[in-house]
Amino acid sequence: MKIISYNVNGIRSAINKGLFAWLEAEQPDVFCIQESKAQPEQIDVMTMQELGYRSYIHSAEKKGYSGVAIFTRIEPDRVVVGMNDHKYDCQGRVIRADYGDVTIVCVYIPSGEAEGPKYEYKMDFLEDFLLWIGELRKERPNIVVCGDYNIAHHPIDINHPERQVGVSGFLPEEREWMDRWEASGMVDTFRMFDNSAEKYSWWSFRAASRARNVGWRIDYHWVSECMKERVQDARILADVVHSDHCPVEVILN
């Protein structure tokens, strides 16, 4: 099973930049997106169907904002939209699909700020999401949690970490949450295969950041510990350009 996760930063914009042609060539079994920035009726599910994908969409109530979706060639046994908490579900942040004994969760964690209401919202989400996944794993232990986490976990995951002190996405408390996430029994699949530096999945549009590879690794596939032996490969597809992010891939046995 090839799973690709991609913050498309607006699916309609990404389609205009050639997303469908890339998707047809890449042919993931499951394609998870974040920041669709579209209502269901604004997403070209007919072309997705022609490419062999069923569409499961969770949009934000606010138009042009947030939103996640799962497009899948394999019919899931069950799809669950949201976390059953309107505080987060109104923003279209989580969608889940079950395939046999495997569950895939697509998440778009809030971007946050260094302080203020957005900071509080992000930290609340992180704590509630950790609890929600913990409960889900009791029922569905074989889990993949992919998406845009909006946190660079370690200094190796960000350019010039010494310059990022106090910056949202690299705050000590955000990284401490990632430590607890990992300690709960979750595995960063990319680091199973590649421990090198300067491997990023997001670059600012400013100052030619992508051309200079001045980026952050904030897009992940994490799997539960019991899934580790089923992970065959994990990659960052840094050459794919439809967004300020790039896709990340994991292949499961």
Hey, which residues are catalytic here? 148
User: Tokens in use for 23?
Assistant: 């998707």
Kind of pairing, strands 30-34 and 54-58?
Answer: unpaired
Helix, strand, or coil (residue 44): coil
CA 198 to chain centroid, in Å, comes to 19
Amino acid (1-letter code) at residue 234: A
- Give the angle 144-149-151 at the CA atoms, nearest 5°: 135
Among residues 24, 28, 25, the alpha carbon closest in space to that of 47 is found at 24
Among residues 250, 219, 74, the alpha carbon closest in space to that of 152 is found at 219
